[in-house]
Amino acid sequence: MTEKKIFISVLAALLLVASAGFADEPKELTVFTAASLTGAFGEIGQIYKNETNISVTFNFDGSQALRTQLENGAYADIFASANKKQMNAVEGDGLMNNSSVVIFTNNKLSLIVPKDNPAKITNLIDLANPGLKIVMGTKDVPVGDYAMQIINKLGNDSAYGDEYKQKVLSNIISQETNVNYVVTKVALGEADVGFAYISDVTEELASKVDKIEIPDKYNVIAEYPIGILDGSKYSAESDKFMDLVASDEGKAILEKYGFSPVERTTAKAATNASQAKAVA
């Protein structure tokens, strides 16, 4: 083989190795994310792209819908759920890198009403008023599950009367598959009141809906877990995204949207304790 042919062969080999290396570099992460995180994660995703030059493609939907998609073979690098129930199910199916899963933020529910509040809702007792139009999530979507827990607490409180729970349930006109649909129906005046997260009343929506606080005695703390899918092709890059979510910058964005961020170390300990309890 001539010296020129050897040079061409070596150059071709080097180009092949280089192209293979480039092929392995991620162009984007795929993040399956609870619908209530739309605003916050949209901002965090942009910061991640600016810092890494890797785009983030989000699939925002109800956590139960995201779980079903993952179970049916949909690809994702990261899953962020609005409750532990859906995350635990995906972990149980062997789809998560379980050691990566942490609770990264908390949320609470509130009642939301149209800005003009035509039904004159002022407190939880009003939910039992005859003819009221209530919208909430389905029992499978986290925001619906949390709402039912609140209704059950109220129904078990003698201060609200024996018939309170049944009256409230009879006023439910629609159950939605993600919280964004709940908010939209209230903002459009298609319902008198809805159960949503406090984080859902953003600056943009503040001109269309008002929040009515649910006292902590009856409220539920919504814990949000996040983790890397076991089949992720970009686990290192996914871990960097999770680090950004847990960073001071990420927490500030979550707080801006009404979430209550938690320390990653504390979250991990809480997650491990929950997993151990579930196994026991």
pLDDT tens digits along 30-70: 999 999 999 999 999 999 999 999 999 999 999 999 999 99
- 109-213 belongs to CATH 3.40.190.10: yes
Q: 172-198, pLDDT tens digit by residue?
A: 999 999 999 999 999 999 999 999 999
Q: Per the CATH hierarchy, to which homologous superfamily does domain 3-106+223-279 belong?
A: Periplasmic binding protein-like II (3.40.190.10)
Tokens of 66: 């995201």
What's the pLDDT score for residue 2?
A: 57
Say if residue 106's pLDDT is above 80.
Answer: yes
Same fold, 3-106+223-279 and 109-213: yes
What's the pLDDT score for residue 3?
A: 53
What's the pLDDT score for residue 24?
A: 56
Q: What is the chain's mean pLDDT, rounded?
A: 88
Q: Identify the band that residue 264 occupies on the pLDDT scale cut at 50, 70 and 90.
A: low
Tokens of 64: 């139960």
Q: 221-231, pLDDT tens digit by residue?
A: 999 999 999 99
Delimit the domains of the chain by residue range.
Answer: 3-106+223-279, 109-213
DSSP single-letter state for residue 30:
E
Q: 231-258, pLDDT tens digit by residue?
A: 999 999 999 999 999 999 999 999 999 9
Between 280 and 170, residue with greater pLDDT: 170
The type of residue at 3 is E
Tokens of 135: 């919208």
Of 156-160, 189-193, 258-262, the range with the lowest mean pLDDT is 258-262
Say if residue 208's pLDDT is above 70.
Answer: yes
What's the pLDDT score for residue 18?
A: 44
